[in-house]
Amino acid sequence: MVRYALVLASGSPRRRELLGLFDIPFKTRPADIDETQNADETPLDYVWRLARQKGSAVAANNSDLPVLSADTIVEFEGSVWGKPVDLSDARRTLSALKGKTHRVYTAISLLDPAHNLELERMVKSEVHMRDYSDQELQAYLDLGDWRDKAGGYAIQHAGFHPCQGYTGSYSNIMGLPLCETAELLRQAGFAIPVELKERAEAELGVLLDCEEGGNA
């Protein structure tokens, strides 16, 4: 039987894949919370709240293990552009973002109730979307890859290749900033693999130098 050391408060396949680079045995427990943005809530307040609430909700039922939670949003022209609710919403979102720059924020929370430990980080990246054609957009929409993704896209999608470039953390745009996650885990007493950078590049194509940036 696996002895888990951590709980990931997420059902995201991308977050599971990214956290798997750390060689820490973990189990997933998606948080059942209301993710509706409050009327008077700024994008940053919103992403902070969701990350914290996800962690708290899962920690309440898994108090024997540390809980890692995160939330990622796309902020464009002062508004939150979340996960598209349907195909029409995905088309509207990606049509609005194309050829323009938006910001991706991820809030990370690590709760360890057994040791009264609460750690947090916020990470920001800027993404410059390319001016993809209507035909390219439709082909991507037909694949269904837009589902369950903030902003309706995956930066690493080789076929669509939605982004012209970015600044900041590439892994943040994927959904879990690896450098900051490593820092939180280290502070909580976890050992971080010395080959994390090489593994991230080999397995996921993520260039990891903790000052990531470049062309997507």
Cα dihedral sign, 31-32-34-36: positive
Backbone angles phi, psi at 168, to 5 degrees: 100, -145
Distances (CA, A) of 14 to 72, 91, 114: 12, 22, 28
Both structure tokens of 95:
């049509």
Angle subtended at Cα 19 by Cα 119 and Cα 151, rounded to the nearest 5 degrees: 90
Structure-token pair, residue 57: 């909700």
Residue 71 among the catalytic residues: yes
Measured distance CA(105)–CA(113) in Å, rounded: 26
d(Cα 58, Cα 31) in Å, to the nearest integer? Answer: 6
Select which of 23, 34, 40, 71 is catalytic: 71
> Where are any strands of DSSP class E within the chain?
6-8, 26-28, 67-76, 79-81, 101-112, 117-129, 163-167, 213-214
From CA 167, how far away is CA 173, in angstroms rounded?
10
Which residues participate in catalysis according to the annotation?
Answer: 71
